[in-house]
Amino acid sequence: MANDEVLVIEDDEDILQLLTFNLESAGYEVSTATDGYEGLVQARRRQPGLIILDIMLPSMDGFEVCKELKRKQETSSIPVIMLTARGEEVDRIVGLELGADDYVIKPFSPRELLLRVKAIMKRIQPEETPRSRWQKDGLSVDLDAHRVDVDGEEVQLTATEFKLLFELVKRQGRVQTRDQLLNTVWGYEFEGYARTVDTHVRRLRQKLGPYAPYVETVRGVGYRFKE
């Protein structure tokens, strides 16, 4: 995967040009698509490091595109930032539930969007850790290979889901508040959207299957990985 390439799927020409200019100025390679179907083709062919995806697209909306990206193994691990003029919480939650890593609401600041792009690009890079592999019962987490196995079968996690699991495992037995997780996993202040953490924890638990209880909820505080 070319981690310095960003695919922008956006049908508004002015916004497309604005994003292309700012991303290229920041040193990223940029590819573009103006509808959902074209975006899917580009994603599969180019395997970008990140996708910026508008929701309101012709022919196939952003929700459907995101669902299809996460359904296909070859594109399931590509991080997605959803770009939307629809600021209702239900739309944000739907996007996160479908596998998006982040969202930005129009009108947006190019600087803010670049900060989020940089945070996600940094997140998908391997981190050094004294313990590169963690295993208990049938759950195995390989921190160097960014691989998780459940009862011998590899589980596909998004970059954000893996980073979340990484932070929980790294601090096994210690409670982490939602604000701490927003800072360490997302890499910036997320304007108090604690529901973002809850949504990703719920998706992570679903993928861990019988080992979901290892991710414990500490009511009123946050989460802890069971010792």
Query: Is the peptide bond preceding residue 107 cis, with omega within 30 degrees of 0?
Result: yes
178 lies in the same domain as 87: no
- Phi, psi dihedrals of residue 29, rounded to the nearest 5°: -80, 135
111 lies in the same domain as 9: yes
49 lies in the same domain as 85: yes
CATH number, domain containing residue 27: 3.40.50.2300
98 lies in the same domain as 186: no
pLDDT at 124: 67
Average pLDDT over residues 110-130: 75
34 lies in the same domain as 140: no
pLDDT at 88: 63
Most confident of 20-24, 118-122, 133-137, 192-196: 20-24
Average pLDDT over residues 24-46: 93
Specify the pTM: 0.67
Rounded Cα distance between 103 and 182, Å, is 14
146 lies in the same domain as 118: no
CB atoms within 10 A of CB 3: 14
Q: Single out the residue in 96, 124, 152 at which a domain terminates.
A: 124
Check whether 53 has a pLDDT greater than 90.
yes
Check whether 129 has a pLDDT greater than 50.
no
Q: Which residues pair with 83 in a beta bridge?
A: 54, 104
Q: Which 3-state string (H, E, C) describes 185-223?
A: HHCCCCCCCHHHHHHHHHHHHHHHHHHHHHEEEECCCEE
140 lies in the same domain as 120: no
Rounded Cα distance between 126 and 163, Å, is 9
State pLDDT tens for residues 61-117: 999 999 999 888 889 889 999 987 766 667 677 777 888 888 888 888 898 899 889
Rounded Cα distance between 99 and 157, Å, is 9
pLDDT at 1: 41
Comparing CA positions, the residue from 100, 105, 11 lying closest to residue 57 is: 11
Q: How is the beta sheet containing 2-9 ordered, strand by strand? A: 29-33, 2-9, 48-54, 80-84, 102-105
Q: Are 147 and 67 in contact, with CB atoms under 8 Å apart?
A: no
Q: Single out the residue in 124, 155, 180 at which a domain terminates.
A: 124
Comparing CA positions, the residue from 117, 135, 96 lying closest to residue 3 is: 117
13 lies in the same domain as 70: yes
Q: Which residue has the tokens 């100025």?
A: 25
Check whether 17 has a pLDDT greater than 70.
yes
Task: Give the count of domains, the chain.
Answer: 2
107 lies in the same domain as 139: no
Check whether 8 has a pLDDT greater than 90.
yes
State pLDDT tens for residues 146-202: 889 999 899 988 888 898 998 898 888 888 888 888 888 877 655 556 678 888 999
CATH number, domain containing residue 208: 1.10.10.10
pLDDT at 33: 95
pLDDT at 191: 54
177 lies in the same domain as 158: yes
Check whether 219 has a pLDDT greater than 70.
yes
185 lies in the same domain as 119: no
Question: Residue 97 burial by CB count (10 A; 0-12/13-18/19+): exposed, middle or buried?
Answer: middle
Q: Single out the residue in 124, 146, 181 at which a domain terminates.
A: 124
pLDDT at 19: 95
- Phi, psi dihedrals of residue 189, rounded to the nearest 5°: -70, 135
Indicate the range of 120-129, 141-150, 170-179, 201-210 predicted with least confidence: 120-129
Q: Are 63 and 93 in contact, with CB atoms under 8 Å apart?
A: no
Q: Which domain holds residue 146?
A: 133-225
169 lies in the same domain as 193: yes
Question: Which pLDDT band, with edges at 50, 70 and 90, does 2 fall under?
Answer: very low
